[in-house]
Amino acid sequence: MSMNHHTTEAHDPHSPPHTRRSSTKKALLLAAVPLLAMPLMSAAENVVDEERTQYHHIRIVEVVDGLRHPWAVAFLPDGRMLITEREGRLQLLENGELTRVSGLPNDIQATGQGGLMDILLHHDYPNQDWIYLTYSRRASGGTATTLVRGRLDGESLVDVEQIFTQDRGSGPGRHYGSRLAWTNDGHLLMSIGDRGAQPPRAQDLGDHAGTLLRLNEDGSPAAGNPFEDDEDAHDEIYSYGHRNIQGLIVNPENGEIWSTEHGPRGGDELNFHQAGENYGWPVVTLGLDYGSQQEIREAQARTMEGMVDPVYELLPTHAPSGLALVTADRFPRWQGDLLAGGLRSERIRRLVIRDYEVIHDEEILLGTVGRIRDVREGPDGYIYVLNDHGSSSLFRIEPVD
């Protein structure tokens, strides 16, 4: 199967499939925008910028500062937020104040790109009050991407249990992947990068490196995974041939799985995931080696029969991290679009998709907040953004028009 569409149009017809509303409903939504209440800003919040995008005039509000290399944010039902910091801290945000949560695993290894990474509430929270966290754990041979879950009790994480760890620890401290998302049928997706030193591991179904996993809520392999009957493959694997997935969403309307993935120089990707497919890395890649700017040693082609091409190549280098799907009514003209955060590019890419092809690509927040680590749609319909610096902040994107 091949999905190799890399065109971007200057004109945005803005009618991608699946989540796009009818023109009548869209008109009603547009008419309702002025009636939407803006959030009440706390004393700690301040407007850092305003920007006119193609469809929405937006303001960027700093919700809280004082974070150190934050990685992900999760929203509790009572309005509080949990924010992971890569160096191994979990912060609870309430009324503009940060409180450090105790009870995290004591084997978090903040090495290179690793440390405490993604966070996700159980899909039936608070009826099932598990909170899931990924981190890099000290392991034989280096570090291993690991999944734990626990419960929030006041300002502590309790009942913490390790429910999955990749099968092989390794160096050199990069390409952990580590994004989480729930499928519509209640299974947990988890990405693991190729770990950097040995890219061919992503082609080995007996190795968790370079894969997207599909798990039960207790970390065990989900029934019906594509390789469960293959004695030489790990039962958890859903798709493979990935370099380093760091943006991951599931469309709540149709269950489609989309990701953004770090490529080598010039090879960052947007992918649509299907069970059992091989996404090619490192045998197939659109990018070049970072150091030499020559072709990847293991690469045989830019496309190959039996390997899935990316839906879109994010050029110039984007360094993707954090991916959101706009579903709420706050931004009616963005509904159904993907918002792909970028680290090195210091921007968000608004991607309009029709028939599994990106037909429009708009850059927003270019250089406004620096390196973008996470992008999430909050339960209030606003877009939340974490930047990645030693002194970082959580920001909220609001429509002005």
**Active site positions, annotated:** 175
Q: Tally Cβ neighbours within 10 Å of residue 40.
A: 6
Residue pair 136/115 in contact by the 8 Å Cβ criterion:
yes
List all residues 6 or more positions away from 233 whose beta carbon is below 8 Å from its beta carbon. Answer: 205, 206, 227
> Which pair of structure tokens corresponds to residue 20?
């796009």
H/E segment holding residue 29 = helix 23-32
Phi, psi torsion values for 400, nearest 5 degrees: -95, -40
Report whether the peptide linkage leading into residue 399 is cis, meaning its omega lies within 30 degrees of zero: no
- Residue 400 CA: distances (Å) to CA of 11, 55, 59, 186, 382: 23, 11, 6, 36, 12
Query: Minimal CA–CA distance to 86: which of 387, 324, 384?
Result: 387
Q: Which residues pair with 257 in a beta bridge?
A: 250, 273
The answer to whether the beta carbons of residues 351 and 312 sit under 8 Å apart is yes
Place of tokens 């994004």: 179
Residue 199: CB atoms within 10 Å: 22
Bridge partners of 295? 288
Dist. CA 348–CA 365, nearest whole Å? 6
Collect all residues with Cβ–Cβ distance below 8 Å to 392 and sequence separation of at least 6.
65, 67, 68, 69, 70, 373, 386
Please name the residues in contact with 127: beta carbons below 8 A apart, sequence gap of 6 or more: none
Alpha helices in 90-159 (DSSP H): none
